[in-house]
Amino acid sequence: MASAVTITAFLTLFPLVLVAIAVVGFVATGSDDLAERIVDNLGLTGQAAETVTDAVGTAEESRRVASVLGILGLLWTGLGLAGAVAYAYNNVWQVQSRGLADKLVGLLWLIGVGLLLAASFVGTTAIEWLGGWGALLVLGGVAMNAGLFLWTSWILPSRRVSVRALLPAAVIGGVMLEVLKVIGTLVVPRLVANSSALYGTLGVIFAILVWLLFFGRLVVYVAVIEVVGWEHSHGTTRAEIELPSLPGVTMAHATRAGDRAPP
């Protein structure tokens, strides 16, 4: 389940790059020195500086096509990501999917995520403009992460429980995601540099996939924390399942705790 979240999140990066190219292209149209400022701010020289300059020029020429393809790609892969996350939650909760209705729910989830990210950007900008402390930025990041987990857990799975029951796992997930983001900020650039030296461009892909794999596991862990908390307060129920009949094999009955019990 974590791998499904990882690969769909990775595929979402490609239309995001197209959208970024479109944004750079539109900005570059009204600024003659954008490429020069980017190179100066990044401290690039030589071939790296030439690559960035050429990329900005290409973005300016292809901004309209990149924007259309990027938005369509984001919608398509975003729905795929929503489906992968919903699949993980539904399997942990052991509930059936909604079928085609999951596409509409996934679209609503994407809209909510977009609004939350926009609100987070505005809040972060306001805190920095007011000279906010680093601790305040971290708390804001945790709150944003928790809000994303809460929104995801409330709308995507095909089960309905109270927001109060989902809040503890969302807070834990928010803290863990912030830690993962900090680790990513410190470790991923070094990992990218080392991997690039060994594997070239593919090294960057390896480094991104490593971080996304931890993110996928975090999504599954948050769902598991929810279920464990719910079972602790509301108990469990037994259900009979059918298993393949194999010659010479006795099927054992097991509890959720993994203890074997007589059939």
Distance CA 150, CA 122 (A): 20
Number of separate domains in the chain: 1
What pLDDT is attached to residue 157? 93
Print the domain residue range for 142: 2-233
Tell me how crowded residue 133 is: count the other CB atoms within 10 A of its CB.
Answer: 9
Residue 157 lies in a domain: yes
Instruction: List Cβ neighbours of 200 (8 Å cut-off, separation of 6 or more).
Output: none
- Looking at residue 117, the DSSP 8-state letter turns out to be H
**CB-side neighbour CA atoms (13 Å) of 76:** 10
Burial 89-109 (b: 16+ CB within 10 A, else e): bbebbeeeeeeeebeebbeeb
Asked whether 138 and 178 are in contact (CB, 8 A), the reply is yes
Secondary structure tally for the chain: helices H, strands E: 8, 2
Q: What crossing angle do the helices spanning 201-234 and 134-155 adopt, rounded to 10°?
A: 70
What tokens appear for 219 in the block? 């999504």
Distance CA 202, CA 197 (A): 10
Residue 253 lies in a domain: no
Digit-by-digit pLDDT tens for the chain (263 residues) are 888 888 888 887 777 666 666 666 666 666 666 667 666 655 555 655 666 677 666 666 666 666 666 677 767 777 888 888 999 999 999 888 888 888 889 889 888 888 887 787 777 777 666 665 667 777 888 889 999 999 999 999 999 889 999 999 999 999 999 888 888 777 766 666 666 566 655 666 777 788 888 999 999 999 999 999 999 988 888 877 777 777 877 766 656 655 544 44
Residue 263 lies in a domain: no
Asked whether 13 and 204 are in contact (CB, 8 A), the reply is no
Element (H, E) at 130: none
Instruction: List Cβ neighbours of 146 (8 Å cut-off, separation of 6 or more).
Output: 170, 171, 173, 174, 175
What predicted TM-score, i.e. pTM, was given to this entire model?
0.71
Residue 245 lies in a domain: no
Tell me how crowded residue 115 is: count the other CB atoms within 10 A of its CB.
Answer: 11
Residue 182 lies in a domain: yes
Residue in 257, 221, 232 with CA at minimum distance from that of residue 92: 221
Residue in 253, 251, 229 with CA at minimum distance from that of residue 92: 229
Site of tokens 């990992």: 191
Residue in 18, 17, 14 with CA at minimum distance from that of residue 62: 18
